[in-house]
A and B are shown apart, each in its own frame.
Chain A
Amino acid sequence: MTTADPPPSSSTYTPPPPFNTSTTPLIPIYQGAEAHLYKTTFLTPSTPAALKIRPSKPYRHPILDRRLTRARILQEARCLHKLVKEDVSVPAVLGLDWEFAVAADNEGNRNGNGGSWLVMEWIEGEVVRVILERWERYMKGLARESGSQEIPEGEAEKVRGLLRKIGAAVGSLHKAGVIHGDLTTSNLILRPFSPAAANAPEEEHSSPSMEGEIVMIDFGLASQSVQDEDRAVDLYVLERAFGSSHPRTEKFFEEVLVGYRESYKGAGPALKRLEDVRMRGRKRSMIG
C-alpha cells in the first residue's frame, strides 16, 4: 500500500472481525466522542447485545493512542465485571479485544491498531438525557399554555423521584469502590420495569414516564477508588452536566444528593468533600 489509510469516517466505517462476517446486521445506535455503539446479537440471534467499538483516534500520537485505548477498554471491562459481581445495575461484559487489526491491505497483511471493541449486555430503555429533554419540552409547552413558569407539583415530584433514583444508583456504584469518571445524563439509562413498557411508544406531547430502574453505562473513564475526593469529583461532574444540559432541572439537583446520602454509609464524607470541590472549581463567582 503506497498511500496512508484514510481514517474511518462515521459513514464508511467497517466493523472489525468477527462482527464484519456476522449474519446479524449491526445497527448503529450512537456515535459518541470516543466510541461507536452498535446493537447486535451475541451467541444466539435472539440475545441482543451492545457492541462498543473504540476506533483509534488519528489525531493522537500512535503511542499515546495505543496506551489510552488499551488502558481504557481493559479498565472499563474490569470495572463492569466488578460491579456486576457486586450487584450494581450496569451491563454485563460478554467479550472484548483490546487491539484489533485494521482492514487487510493489498497483500493481506493486517497490521497496526484499528482500535478496540467490547460486547456487553443490551439494556432496554431510554437515556435520561432524552427523557429530561422531552420533559423540558413538555414543561415549556405547559408554560406557554398557562402563561406561568410554575412547575406543577405532580411533575416536580416525578422529576425529584427520578433524580433520587439517580443518586441512589451513583451511591451503589461508589459503595462498590468504582468511580464512573464521566457521569452525564447521556450515560444513565432508565430501564422500564416491564419489557412491555419499553416497547410502548412514547407520545411526544405528553409528560414522559419516569418509572423504572437506573442503569449506568459507558464506563470508559471509570476507575477503582474509595476516596472521598474521587467520589466528590464524580458527583461534581454530574452536577455540572445537569446544569449545562438541563437548565430547568438544575434546581432539583439537590434530590440526587438526597438519594445518594441514603444509599450507603460513606456518603456523608463524600458529600462534605463535594462542597470543597465546588469551591475549588476555577473562578467560581464570588456572589453565589
Chain B
Amino acid sequence: MIAIGLEGSANKLGVGIMLHPSDGSTPQVLANIRHTYVSPPGEGFLPKDTARHHRAWVVKLVKKALREAHISVADVDCICYTKGPGMGAPLQSVAVAARTLSLLWGKELIGVNHCVGRMLYAYYRKIRSLTLLDIEMGRLITGASNPVVLYVSGGNTQVIAYSSQRYRIFGETLDIAVGNCLDRFARTLHISNDPAPGYNIEQLAKKGKQLVDLPYTVKGMDCSMSGILAAIDGLAAQYGLNGEQKEDEEEHEITGEPVSNETLSTRKPTRADLCFSLQETVYSMLVEITERAMAHVGSKEVLIVGGVGCNERLQEMMGIMARDRGGSVHATDERFCIDNGIMIAQAGIMAYKTGFRTPFKESTCTQRFRTDDVFVQWRD
C-alpha cells in the first residue's frame, strides 16, 4: 500500500511517499522532499505569497517525489493532504492540488489533521526504535510508551497526553504560539528568515550572557506569549536594537572569561542578550508546564515534537527536568520536527487502512482543527 502525503499548512511545502508492505513488514519512506518559502528579513510569510509559492512548486515536487521513489502513478493507493489547522490560503492551494491529483489519477483522498499526523509520526518512530531495542535485549519492554507530548511550532503550543481514545490537551498557549513569538521577534531585529528565524535566534542566543527581566506568564498548565513579545519588542526599541543591525552597534567581545555580575547588570543588553533572555524565559515556561502535566498524569517520559522542538536549548532544559524526575526525553530530530509530507502520508495511510475516506465533497480544508476532535482508531 502506497500513500502520497501533501503538507502545506504554513510556509513549507512537503511531499512524502510512504510504503506499507502488504506482508506487514516495516513501513518504508520512499521519498521525503520539501521546498520552503523564505520571506525577506523583517517580514513574515504572508498567506497570499505563501499560497503562490505552493502553487508554483507542487507539481515539480510531486514529480520529483515519484521519481525518487521509483514508482509510477499506478502504484499509488491514496492521496493524503493536510486538512488543517493552518493558514487558509496555503491549505487551499494544497487541497486543490490533492483533489486534482485524485481526479486525474482516480485515487482515494484522505484529509489529515496536521497535529495528529505529526504526533503519530513521532510516536511511530519511537515504537520502531523500542522494538529494535527489544530484539537486541531479547525482552519485551512494556508500559514505557505513554509520554507527555509537548507540541511546539509556529502555530501550536500544546501539552498533550493520551487518554480514553483521544489526545487530550492539558495545557496550551492562551494567545500566540511560541514559534510565532520567536519568529516575530526575529522580524523585530531584522534577523534573516533563512533557513528559519527560530534557528537564527538560537545561534544568536548562544552568544548572549545577560538575562533581562521579562514577564513570566504561566497559568496552571497554560501559558501566554503575547505579553512577553510586547515586552521584549519594547526593550529592543528602548535600546535601539530594532530594525536592521547598525554599523556602529556595539558588539561585546566574546572571550572565554565569564563576565562579572556587576558588569552584566550595568551594561546595555545586546541583540544576543535579548535572544538569550527570550529563549531562557519562554523555554522555562514550556518545561514548567510540561513538568506539571507529567506530575498530573504520572508520566516520566516527554516527547517533544514540532519545529521549535529542534531547539537544542529547549531539549537540554527538558532533559534536565526529565532526569530529575527519573525519566527521559525523546525529541524528534531536525528532519522530522519540520513539517513534512511523510507524516501526513503516514497518518493518512493508517486512516485509509481502517476504511476511512474523505469524499470529494468533503475534501475541504479548515484553519481550525483541534487535536482532540480526532477519534483515534489506530491506538488503544
Q: Which residues of A contact B (CB under 8 A)?
A: 7-11, 31-34, 57-61, 63-64, 67-68, 181-184, 186, 221, 233, 237, 240-241, 243-245, 247, 280-286
> Can you spell out 19 A-B residue pairs with CB atoms less than 8 angstroms apart?
A10-B325, A31-B325, A33-B291, A33-B296, A57-B288, A58-B324, A59-B284, A63-B211, A182-B219, A182-B221, A240-B169, A240-B170, A240-B222, A241-B221, A244-B170, A280-B174, A282-B172, A282-B175, A283-B368
Taking CB atoms, residues of chain B closer than 8 Å to A64 are 211, 216, 280-281, 284
Cα separation A221 to B292 with both chains bound (whole Å): 12
Residue of A with least CB distance to B280: A61
Do B169 and A32 touch (CB < 8 A)? Answer: no
Taking CB atoms, residues of chain A closer than 8 Å to B368 are 283-286
Do A247 and B173 touch (CB < 8 A)? Answer: no
Tell me, yes or no, whether B373 is within 8 Å of chain A by CB. Answer: yes
Taking CB atoms, residues of chain A closer than 8 Å to B164 are 247
Cα separation A244 to B221 with both chains bound (whole Å): 11
Report the count of interface residues on B (CB-CB < 8 A).
Answer: 44
Tell me, yes or no, whether B163 is within 8 Å of chain A by CB. Answer: yes
Tell me, yes or no, whether B85 is within 8 Å of chain A by CB. Answer: yes
CB distance from B229 to the nearest CB of A (A): 16
Taking CB atoms, residues of chain B closer than 8 Å to A68 are 216
B window 55-113: CB within 8 A of A: 85
Cα separation A233 to B223 with both chains bound (whole Å): 12
Do A9 and B291 touch (CB < 8 A)? Answer: no
CB distance from A242 to the nearest CB of B (A): 12
Residue of B with least CB distance to A13: B324
Query: Contacts A31-B295, A282-B174, A284-B370: A60 and B220 contacting too (C-beta < 8 A)?
Result: no
Cα separation A183 to B213 with both chains bound (whole Å): 27
Query: Contacts A31-B295, A244-B169, A245-B296: A237 and B369 contacting too (C-beta < 8 A)?
Result: no
CB distance from A59 to the nearest CB of B (A): 4
Taking CB atoms, residues of chain A closer than 8 Å to B190 are none
A-B complex: 6 closest residue pairs judged by Cβ atoms = A33-B292, A59-B320, A237-B220, A33-B295, A59-B317, A33-B291
Tell me, yes or no, whether B287 is within 8 Å of chain A by CB. Answer: yes
Cα separation A245 to B168 with both chains bound (whole Å): 9
- 16 other A-B residue contacts (CB within 8 Å) besides A9-B323, A64-B211, A280-B174: A10-B326, A33-B288, A33-B294, A33-B296, A59-B287, A60-B317, A61-B211, A68-B216, A181-B220, A184-B296, A243-B168, A245-B296, A282-B174, A282-B175, A283-B369, A285-B368
